[in-house]
């Protein structure tokens, strides 16, 4: 069956990344993946987080915050003014883990970098777009530190990108948009490093239990998709 977007099963949506879109942030990137748009900003704090200072730990820290603007989707969602909802909190932790997996905290020195990922418009795959675009903002922030002599070595050890894959109408597909995601029998998210190794896999087969062969095929699709995203990151960061 033809996908609603007329894409091939292994075809990702059009992707663009624009850097330095925020005047104040040490690193920023606006990523667009199809109808999904996420503004990613990296803010540098010239101190360790309090918990590291209290425990007399060495090295820096990278963390992330994810949220959706009220009209990012078809119906208005209230602002997360007091407390994040469970979904946003879970995605924030995922994004933070993805970035920390490719950063040498000792080389980062006693600095904290916070990546804010604000969804301007959601059309599926917002967490994956946040990781892919947020990585670009993170790299720019570390370059800011190096240019000012705050750190001597590049703490970034590898690239990282993320993409969704799943089963829709019995077919394995890559990079689900909202129309596919909301009715998919299987939805999964893959975080992949530049060396091709997987950092994290999130897969839910509540409506469609999956076997090892399907998972292997989805991993291959996601690996190929992330390679294309990482190639684009490299072009943007050159």
* CB hemisphere CA count around 17 (13 angstroms): 26
Provide the residue ranges of all domains of the chain, joining segments of one domain with +: 15-237
Residue 74: band (very low, low, confident or very high) from pLDDT cuts 50, 70, 90: confident
Confidence (pLDDT) at 224:
98
Map 182-196 to HEC letters: CCCCEEEEEEEECCC
What is the C-alpha to C-alpha distance for residues 183 and 88, in angstroms, rounded to an integer?
21
CA distances from 55 to 49, 51, 58, 59 (A): 10, 6, 9, 12
Identify the helix (H) or strand (E) that includes residue 64.
strand 61-68
Looking at every residue in the chain, the average pLDDT score rounds to 94
Q: Which of 62, 66, 120 shows the shortest CA–CA distance to 88?
A: 66
Whether residue 219 contacts residue 190, with contact meaning beta carbons closer than 8 Å, is answered with yes
Residues 6 or more apart in contact with residue 115 via CB below 8 angstroms: 40, 41, 42, 62, 63, 64, 65, 95, 96, 99, 134, 137, 138
Structure tokens belonging to residue 75: 């119906």
What's the pTM? 0.94
Confidence of residue 11 (pLDDT cuts 50, 70, 90): very high
What CATH number is given for 15-237 in this structure?
3.30.230.70
The model's confidence at residue 83, banded by pLDDT at 50, 70 and 90, is low
Q: Is residue 81 over pLDDT 80?
A: no
The stretch 55-61 carries a mean pLDDT of: 95
């Amino acid at each position: 069956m033809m996908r609603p977007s007329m894409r091939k099963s292994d075809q990702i949506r059009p992707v663009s990344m624009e850097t330095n879109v925020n005047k104040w942030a040490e690193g920023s990137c606006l990523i667009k993946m199809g109808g999904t748009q996420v503004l990613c900003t990296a803010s540098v704090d010239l101190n360790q987080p309090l918990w590291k200072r209290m425990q007399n730990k060495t090295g820096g820290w990278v963390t992330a915050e994810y949220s959706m603007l009220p009209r990012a989707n078809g119906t208005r969602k209230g602002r997360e003014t007091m407390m994040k909802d469970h979904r946003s909190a879970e995605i924030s932790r995922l994004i933070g883990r993805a970035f920390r997996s490719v950063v040498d905290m000792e080389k980062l020195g006693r600095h904290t970098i916070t990546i804010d990922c604000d969804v301007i418009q959601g059309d599926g795959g917002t967490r994956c777009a946040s990781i892919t675009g947020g990585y670009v903002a993170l790299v720019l922030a570390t370059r800011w530190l190096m240019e000012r002599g705050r750190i001597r070595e590049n703490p970034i050890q590898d690239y990282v990108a993320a993409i969704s894959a799943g089963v829709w109408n019995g077919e394995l597909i890559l990079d689900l948009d909202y129309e596919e995601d909301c009715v998919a029998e299987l939805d999964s998210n893959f975080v992949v490093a530049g060396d091709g190794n997987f950092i994290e896999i999130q897969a839910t087969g509540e409506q469609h239990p999956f076997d090892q062969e399907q998972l292997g095929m989805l991993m291959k699709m996601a690996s190929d998709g992330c390679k294309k995203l990482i190639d684009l990151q490299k072009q943007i960061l050159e």
